Chains A and B, each alone.
Chain A
Amino acid sequence: MKLKTLLASTVAMTFIGLAAQAQTVGFSQIGSESGWRAAETTLTKQQAEERGIDLKFSDAQQKQENQIAAIRSFIAQGVDAILLAPVVATGWDSVLEEAKEAEIPVVLLDRRVDSSDDLYLTAVGSDLVHEGKVAGEWLVNEVGDAECRVVELQGTTGSSPAIDRKTGFEEGIAGHDNIEIVRSQTGDFTRAQGKEVMESFLQAENGGKDICALYAHNDDMAVGAIQAIKEAGLKPGEDILIVSIDAVPDIFKAMADGEANATVELTPNMAGPAFDALDAYWKDGTMPEKFIQTESKLYTPEDDPAGEYESRKDLGY
């Protein structure tokens, strides 16, 4: 008993000693509205722990005023840097100026703001158009010169991911007249809608026999569509190629079963590149680029989907 207490207190002392030397970073997160966002939070905490950074986490619950209050409190505590995933694009000028006056670098994660770019160190994010393009290019390589009629499941009508991922895909297949998008409808980014709309695509395209590939703006819709294809008596992944975006765990499960062919990752690991940039800045004042684009990595069945599923399933997706 005594020994245990002694041991525990020693360990605790060691940690406190380490923490005193480590950098402190404040992270103002939007909330936990989606699985992806939850994974981003988990990964940011993981990354901080690996690097010995003391991360102060604040959940804004979708409210900008909560984020501004959190940043002010980070400034008051004198943190070494601030990570901000902004809930909206506008209204950040004054609080960013306060951070600048206190000489605390701010790194934007995932989303951008409308403020002057000298108010923050850098922004880390993905390029939505590029993601679509990667998906399109994969399809071009996959089908070669064969005729391919593609159906597309769009995201929520009018949302920027839906618009950009559509544009990117069209860029990716541009110049390859053998590939044609024959039907395009919104599936609202949801599994249920993805399934329902895919069912009507199958009905409309000769029971699905005329469809060569499905491009879905997110994995959830693709998972729904895969079920619809199976229920129509076709083999997803073989009879109809499936390519989608996000790389959530469930699409790797489908890929491991041979029911999906490709997914483009929207990495929730925005913190890794952000900490890399901060390390360089702290070390010798290196100014990073104003926008650090995360890699839009393509995953196919050759990339050990079962392993990817295992490594991702507990991130909070």
Chain B
Amino acid sequence: MQTLRRLAPQIVTLLAVCLLVTLFFPGFLDISMSGGRLVGPVIDILKRSAPVALLAIGMTLVIATRGIDLSVGTVIAICGAVAAWAIAGGMGLWAAVALAIGAGLLAGLWNGVLVAVIGIQPIVATLILMTAGRGIAQLITEGRILTFTDPGFAWFGSGTLFGMPVPAVIWIVTGVVMAQLMRRTALGLLVEAIGINRRASALAGVNALVLLIAVYMASGLCAALAGIITAADIRGADANNAGLWLELDAILAVVIGGNSLLGGRFSIAAALLGALIIQTIDTGILLAGFPSEYNLVIKAGLVVIILVLQSPRLATEWYFWRRSVREGPPPATTKEHAR
């Protein structure tokens, strides 16, 4: 019940965006079964939101510690390149997956050490990998799109599991596992505590150093999964374009999810709804068939409207407005009318 109340604004927003898209594209909510797999725009959205949703999971945790991880888009490119390199080099499916995840964890470890041990501000620390990392990915792919044909690996991008696209299954499972890990153990509480007041938490015996590193590694892990999906989707690693600017969409998803950039209380489910909202807008624009010059304007416009409607100040106004409607007009207004 409490969770539902926390998620209400995001659920309402998602439904509103779906309704809006349906107005422009009536077949939006159609879902059919074709060859053992579910087909339809909604299923496409679940599948396409995988990279941003996965990034948003890690980003939520990082932001809860009052940090930010700008490097995740680049880590997608690195991990995709590593996976494609391993597959193309004949190392086999699971070696490729393991190496990609290892690369993601390593990237997270690097960020975490810079932030927690050396004490660089998170935005600067992760900016280093954000700018340098794409070069690393290009070194691995030698500047070209490194393609492969392994159908096993491609399954991560375009396969189905119980009729659902595999990328959708991956992000939903990751999201549920992460959220449960945070709430069923004390991790969530400890992460929130160091985000709100790291010094006081450390004085209470919370191991802030290890937790911070772990959180950035979790972000790296999520980026690695997103990298695997992205590479598997196009059966190739495109170091120049994979994950480009996705870190910003992930931050946006976290913010639309109502999480504060100042750290503290967080909700992974809300951030995932945020990612779905963003992807619904993206796919909706494509389906509606507007000229591509309008894509970014429409997206920006909708995001502004969503964020304004969710702003705490407006929520307060709304609360008072509703109360005043229920209790009749306040005396001040009557006076105005009398005059």
Contacts and interface: CB of A to CB of B under 8 A. Distances in A.
A186 interface: yes
Interface in A153-201: 154, 157-158, 183-186, 188, 190-193, 195-197, 199-201
Contacts of A186: 292, 295
B34 A196 contact: no
Nearest to B236: A191
B292 A190 contact: no
B292 A184 contact: yes
Given A32-B143, A192-B241, A200-B44, A231 B289 contact: no
A34 to B, nearest CB: 8
A224 interface: yes
Interface in B22-41: 25, 27, 34-35, 39-41
A227 B289 contact: no
A233 B241 CA distance: 27
A193 B230 CA distance: 11
Interface string A218-241: 001001100100011100000000
Contacts of A195: 233-234
**Interface of A: prevailing SS:** helix
Interface string B158-172: 100000000000000
A250 B145 CA distance: 10
Interface string B36-51: 0001110010001000
A88 interface: no
A233 B35 contact: yes
Contacts of A184: 291-292
A190 B48 CA distance: 15
A292 interface: no
A203 interface: yes
A154 B292 CA distance: 9
A258 interface: no
B283 interface: yes
Interface centre among A35, A199, A203 (most CB of B within 10 A): A203
Contacts of B241: 188, 190-193
Interface string B132-152: 000000000001110100000
Contacts of B35: 233
**Interface of B: prevailing SS:** mixed
A204 B283 CA distance: 11
A161 to B, nearest CB: 14
B48 A192 contact: no
Nearest to A152: B292
Contact of B144 (A193, A207, A316): A316
A57 interface: no
Contact of A200 (B230, B234, B236, B286): B286
A191 B234 contact: yes
B1 to A, nearest CB: 36
B327 interface: no
A128 B242 CA distance: 26
Interface residues of B, number: 31
A207 B31 CA distance: 12
Nearest to B160: A231
A185 B292 contact: yes
B107 to A, nearest CB: 20
Contacts of A38: 143-144
A92 interface: no
A204 B145 contact: no
Given A186-B295, A188-B241, A203-B40, A196 B143 contact: no
Contacts of B48: 196, 199
Contacts of B234: 191-192, 195, 223-224, 227
Given A157-B295, A231-B158, A200 B283 contact: yes
Interface string B265-304: 0000000000000000001001101011101000000000
Interface of A: 32-35, 38, 154, 157-158, 183-186, 188, 190-193, 195-197, 199-201, 203-204, 207, 220, 223-224, 227, 231-233, 250, 316-317
Given A185-B295, A195-B233, 13 more contacts: A183-B289, A191-B145, A192-B234, A192-B238, A195-B234, A197-B286, A201-B286, A203-B27, A203-B287, A204-B25, A207-B39, A227-B158, A231-B158
19 contacts: A32-B143, A35-B143, A35-B144, A35-B145, A183-B289, A184-B292, A185-B286, A185-B295, A186-B292, A191-B145, A197-B286, A200-B287, A201-B286, A203-B27, A204-B286, A207-B39, A227-B234, A232-B39, A250-B147
